Amino acid sequence: MRWTPGGQSPDIEDRRGQSTGNGELGGLGALGGLLLSGAFRGRRLGIGGLLFLVLISVFLYFVDSGSQSPSQYASPSGAASRNVGNSSEPENKEVQFVSFVLDDAQKTWEKLLPSTGIPYRHAKLVLFRDYTTSRCGTAQSATGPFYCPADERVYIDLGFFDQLANRMGAPGEFAQAYVIAHELGHHVQNLLGIESKVQRLRRSNPEESNPLSVRLELQADCLAGVWGHSTAQRNIIDQSDISEGIEAVSAVGDDRIQKMARGYVSPESFTHGTSAERTAWFRRGLDSGEIASCNTFSR
């Protein structure tokens, strides 16, 4: 990707030096923390949540029980965040890269979203290490990146990008950018009222919960592609970057992840879509650059 480091985005909340105030939980390790904290309660599993649950299931035989409905949002802790200045140089560069992607994507949505009659409102992106809190429950590094509709924030531990590259075979800057753009796609869905409508449908039709979740995730992939189209038009990315993004999308397909974790695939338990579906919808947004092309609910 062609980008110039430009400091930290004003839309980033840096909690990497924040005391969790939860030493007992922190001492349990990632798996124990997940089991006792209810980390997934009240929020949709993002790309990272799905990926990290698979890694946990591969190495610790822990199987994801699925995402929960927004009606189960946990209460915020009210813990204040603060900036830190003791990051390593590589991590400082990562922060600047995340800042670039965040700012560029949100500027793009400022231009595109008003065509739907809805103005764009900036999301915040929270950087943390190990553990923090959100209005959707606890966030830990083991859960990976996710978007919380209740506080309109994306949560990321930068260590996730190492996992994406080294364990899932999806390295590269545009692979990382896709993750951020996908979570911002959920923010766009939230602003459009799609998120809340889908959650109401899931509550009223429990048997359709997983298929509805898949459609929501595929739409977020398509919306990430819409931003990718904008970057291609401005020569920020080239074909090699697009290939990195496609590999990242494919890496987090339900079928690929279940095959890695269990050795077999259970389509009835899919919540995010197959590698082929996710890639197809990402490419649709990437090729068209239009929000209207991302109607996964008309299938």
**Per-residue pLDDT tens for 28-38?**
333 333 232 33
Q: Which two tokens stand for residue 234?
A: 């401005």
Q: What is the mean pLDDT of residues 139-154?
A: 91
Query: Is there a domain that residue 108 lies in?
Result: yes
Give the separation between CA 81 and CA 28, rounded to whole angstroms. Answer: 23
pLDDT score of 36: 29
Which of 127 and 65 is assigned the larger pLDDT?
Answer: 127
pLDDT digits (tens, 9 = 90+) for 38-55: 333 344 555 655 554 444
How many CB atoms are closer than 10 A to CB 243?
Answer: 13
Query: Is there a domain that residue 284 lies in?
Result: yes
CB 40 within 8 A of CB 28: no
CB burial of residue 3 (10 Å; 0-12, 13-18, 19+) = middle
Q: Is a pLDDT exceeding 70 seen at residue 66?
A: no
Q: Which two tokens stand for residue 60?
A: 């610790």
Q: Which two tokens stand for residue 83?
A: 């900036």
- The domain tally of the chain equals 1
Query: Is there a domain that residue 3 lies in?
Result: no
Which of 70 and 204 is assigned the larger pLDDT?
Answer: 204
CA atoms within 13 A on the CB side of 242: 20
How confident is the prediction for the chain on average, in pLDDT? 81
Query: Is there a domain that residue 249 lies in?
Result: yes
DSSP 8-state class, residue 43: S
Place of tokens 């006792």: 36
Q: Is a pLDDT exceeding 70 seen at residue 63?
A: no
Domain limits for position 251: 12-298
Query: Is there a domain that residue 2 lies in?
Result: no
Where does the pLDDT of residue 299 fall: very low under 50, low under 70, confident under 90, or very high at 90 and above? low
Q: What is the mean pLDDT of residues 81-98?
A: 70
Query: Is there a domain that residue 57 lies in?
Result: yes
Query: Is there a domain that residue 136 lies in?
Result: yes
Query: Is there a domain that residue 293 lies in?
Result: yes
CA-based nearest residue to 35, from 59, 58, 56:
56
pLDDT score of 53: 47
